[in-house]
Structure 1
Amino acid sequence: MLIRRFSLPAASSLSSTLSAVVLGAGLLCAALNAQAREYSVSTVLSDAFPWGQAAEKWADLVEERSEGRMTLRVYPNSQLVNGDQTREFSAMRQGLIDMAVGSTINWSPQVPELNLFSLPFLMPDTEAVDAITGGEAGDMVFEAIESRGVIPLAWGENGFRELSNSRQPITSPEDLDGLKIRVVGSPLFQDTFTALGANPTQMSWADAKPALTTGAVDGQENPLSVFDVARIDQVGQKYLTLWHYMNDPLIFAVNRQVWEQLPEEDREILRQAALDAGQWEIEMSREQKDERLAAIKERGVEVSELSAEQRQAFVEATRSVHEQWTPQIGEELVEAARRAVDKR
């Protein structure tokens, strides 16, 4: 009878084999992680609006340029903060949200310097906005954001906020006297409309549309894109004033810990994609203005555009707001912004 003898490998050989297997598994996991990392991106509006489209564009560029190593999953309608858009910055700072394309208004409770853009009638046109965001003042704002645990990458645009109401054309501060105007939850907005003689009423947008429909409030303020896409004319808003009283730039940003864990190559992809998506969205938003305005007029809305003299009356009526808020925003920052506007 033939007896076969089998021998086990030497202990040292077995140990080497096991080590190689473990090492290979580790390298495989690392490779898989490097190939597919998903990050959450918060936005307030969906891709029916330029704001949401900016976030989607960022996600598309990052996935393409990273060859699938990074995936940005966009969560619109503030769903990552249960609809409370003013909590978005805090959630990103805490790491509950990886990234966001956010509003200077919504982030201003945590970053007071962002109230710069809500100072009434500081920026008369898009050239003034670009001069601020692209200059010393813009750098100072980004430094303020970074000091609070969030890395800002690029600017986008939500646009100038215009005024609508159901009562009458508004071309002077006196026309606002006593009107109930829905405003966002910012004390600066309250102070601005109070200075203009209106009755500012803070409420969420979900509550605002029914209130406009019933006449509980007379008017509201929002970018032209929101007025158009959300069909605000359908809730009794027959009069629209293009007064450019403030602008709400968007900011592409990343949680600091997420940013620091990224390889330098991926940081550069993320930053450049944000810059490109932001510029694309800014140009698109501005190009669509005339088309949106024409559509709004066709729906029977009476549109008023302020002359230089009419705008100056609003400037004079809100000087006290600047005096009150400049110390809170920062004297140096406000002065840098004013210099940029004057030199544009």
Structure 2
Amino acid sequence: MTPTTTSRLKRGLLGLALSAVALAALPGAASAQTYKSEYRMSLVLGTAFPWGKGGELWANKVRERTQGRINIKLYPGVSLIQGDQTREFSALRQGVIDMAVGSTINWSPQVKQLNLFSLPFLMPDFAAVDSLTQGEVGKNLFKVLDQAGVVPLAWGENGYREISNSKMAIKKPEDLKGMKIRVVGSPLFLDTFTALGANPTQMSWADAQPALASGAVDGQENPMSIFTAAKLHTVGQKHLTMWGYICDPLVFVVNKDIWNSWTPADREIVRQAAIDAGKEEIAIARKGLVEADKPLLKEIAGLGVTITQLSPAEREAFVKATRPVFDKWKATIGNDLVAQAEKAIAERKK
């Protein structure tokens, strides 16, 4: 090979290399090869519930806005992890799950700051919830989640958790004495119901419904959208007390490796789709409860359920009974974060 030929060959190879670099720099070109044909979204509840509907809205918006580059399949019932809600966050961080609309309650064992929303009687109304999720507290919690290994994008809502049972109308803490109440796997929930004299029983939602039907468990606490969609009046839940002791925000998140495999443009599409879906999902979750006549409660009463609305004095008795639990958990969650939340709620626009 002559020196001239060698020189030409080198120039040709250099040109090819530069072309490859330029091509890789084009939006989507490099990472398009790493896109999966389908992404797995974990959900606790299906699309009959606002929670599952939020996941569906997000998936549809992403597919439409990316022209099918990002296709998402829903896995309700946390089926990717055999129905164990408390393992969802770890599985998301490890890549078993690609993305999720998850509950702050279910993720609180791994991210202790999320227990903030489970402090009994912290948030007296929806304006209080919004003052946290849409303000500085929400931003700080997103930083915590990012440091914990996921990419948080938007807030949704499961709703205020009201208490129902098969025995009697609950109007005061003493009414809960000895009552077997199904709760999720959170130590804070166990502490709260123990303080009220109840017998809190941890079990998955899949196990809860047959337990209620058989009378093995007396009662449960869940948002009204779950009460109606799951037809809890058919499993003995004839007494319902609106006590609004906690509200359960949801978080739209993506696994970090998956997030980093997308182009910056697609990441922004996924983020905005989550924000839009979150707003729509919150409206769905609150429907029938924010209107003056609360039509959802009328609907439930029409099913033969006795609904108890607590007076301010009656509610205060529950606040007082659970205050030691509130104070105990402040340090675990972070005194500064709790103080910031209390300040935001005090300053909220009602």
CA spacing shift, 1:238–1:111, aligned 2, 3 Å:
same
Matched residues in 1 for 2:280 and 2:208: separation?
Answer: 31
Where does residue 9 of structure 1 map in the other structure? none
Q: Verify: 1:311 aligned to 2:330, yes or no.
A: no
Query: Which position in structure 2 is the counterpart of 1:105?
Result: 105
* TM-score, normalisation: structure 1: 0.90
Which amino acid in structure 1 is aligned with residue 308 of structure 2? S
- Aligned mates of 2:133, 2:111 — CA distance in 1: 16
Measured in 2, the distance between the counterparts of 1:146 and 1:258 equals 14
Distance in 2, Cα, partners of 1:255 & 1:35: 14
User: Take 1:305 and 1:294, find their aligned partners in 2: how far apart are those partners?
Assistant: 13
Conserved? CA contact 1:150–1:256, under 8 Å: yes
Q: Does 1:77 align with 2:77?
A: yes
Partner SS for 1:318? helix
Aligned twin of 1:249: 249
Whole-angstrom CA distance in 2 between matches of 1:102 and 1:43: 7
Counterpart contact for 1:35–1:68, Cα < 8 Å = no
SS in 1 for 2:251: strand
Mapping of 1:43-192 within 5 angstroms?
43-192=43-192
Q: Report what 1:331 is aligned to.
A: 335
Aligned to 2:4: none
Q: After alignment, is 306-315 or 236-245 more displaced? A: 306-315
Alignment check: 8 A CA contact 2:32 2:262 kept: no
Say if 1:317 and 1:261 are closer, same or farther in 2 by CA, change over 3 A. Answer: same
Measured in 2, the distance between the counterparts of 1:32 and 1:196 equals 55
**Equivalent residue number for residue 278 of structure 2:** 278
Letter in 1 for 2:328: Q
Question: Residue 44 of structure 2: SS of its match in structure 1?
Answer: coil
> Matched residue of 2:161: which SS?
strand
Matched with 1:322 is 326
Partner of 1:301: 305
> Quick one: structure 1 residues 197 and 95, their matched pair in 2 at CA, closer, same or farther if it must change by over 3 Å?
same
With 121-130 and 168-177 compared, the bigger mean Cα shift is at: 168-177
Cα distance, 1:38 vs structure 2: 2.6
Once the two structures are superposed, residues 59-83 of structure 1 have per-residue CA deviations (whole angstroms, 9 ceiling, x without a partner) of 1111111111111221111011111
3-state SS of the aligned residue for 2:159? strand
CA distance in 1, matches of 2:155, 2:300: 27
Alignment match, 1:6: none
Moved more, 235-244 or 29-38: 29-38
Q: Structure 1 unaligned runs (5+)? A: 1-11
Deviations 1:147-174 (A, max 9, x none): 1110100000000000001111111111
Q: Is the alpha carbon distance of 1:255 and 1:231 closer, same or farther for their aligned partners in structure 2, counting shifts above 3 Å?
A: same
TM-score (norm 2): 0.88
- The aligned counterpart of 2:214 is 214
1:126–1:30 CA distance, 2 compared to 1 (3 A):
same
Question: Which structure 2 segments of 5+ residues have no match?
Answer: 1-7
